[in-house]
A = this chain, B = another copy of it.
Amino acid sequence: MSKSRLEAFSDGVIAIIITIMVLELKLPQGHNLESLIPMWPVFASYVMSFVYVGIYWNNHHHLLHAIKSVNGAILWANMHLLFWLSLVPFVTNWMGESHFYEIWPVVLYGFILLMNAIAYTILAVLLVRHEGEDSLLANAIGNDWKGRISLACYFVAIGLAWVSTYLSLALYVLVACIWFIPDRRIERKLATEHVKP
């Protein structure tokens, strides 16, 4: 089964998710610069979620780039990832609207990030199993330290929300920074592979 429609459908869904978040930027009450100030938490939430969804798209791109075909289980693992991604606009909005002060919106945001990370890991594991342990992808992913650190950070961040929601947010930003650089492992391996005949 070819991977092209899987990519096209995922691109469509991720493109919509990343764009409909902007619909939550409601019109400010006034027409001067001050009227924009109360919007900063909603805007900051938007920026963070835009970066996160962008990271997922980038990594999804890299992950599927290295593979050759897909099967039914992979289709559903991909749909499962898209499901959790589709909830990002909701939690972004709730967290932004609560001005980062409230515990539960920050916790739920972390929970959705956590579920996305788990869904991504499941997809990666299924892809590696499908391609074989000696495949390009399996080598490229190797020991997934980034994924492990992210999962740990999300758990700690959720717990820290009861201490200070700003600590949780700092951890969310940290994870985004870790992932910001696209998965060079795959890129480098692919490059090496192309050099080797």
User: Which residues of A are in contact with B by a Cβ distance under 8 Å?
Assistant: 1-2, 5-9, 11-20, 22-23, 25, 27-28, 31-33, 35-36, 47, 50, 54, 57-58, 61, 65, 71-72, 75-76, 79, 82-83, 86-87, 89-90, 93-94, 97-98, 102-105, 108, 180-182, 184, 187, 190
A179 to chain B, nearest CB (A): 11
Nearest-neighbor residue (CB-CB) of A72 within chain B:
B182
Number of chain copies forming the complex: 4
Given contacts A5-B7, A11-B5, contact A27 B97 (CB under 8 A): yes
Q: Which residues of B contact A12 (CB under 8 A)?
A: 11-12, 14-16
The secondary-structure label for the interface of chain A is: helix
From A9, A23, A82, name the one whose CB has the most chain B CB atoms within 10 angstroms.
A9
A13 close to B19 (CB less than 8 A): yes
CB distance from A157 to the nearest CB of B (A): 17
B182 and A75 form a contact (CB under 8 A):
yes
How far, in angstroms, from A12 to B61 measured CA to CA in the complex? 15
Give CA–CA (A1, B65) in the complex, Å.
8
- Of B23, B50, B83, the residue contacting A50 (CB under 8 A) is B83
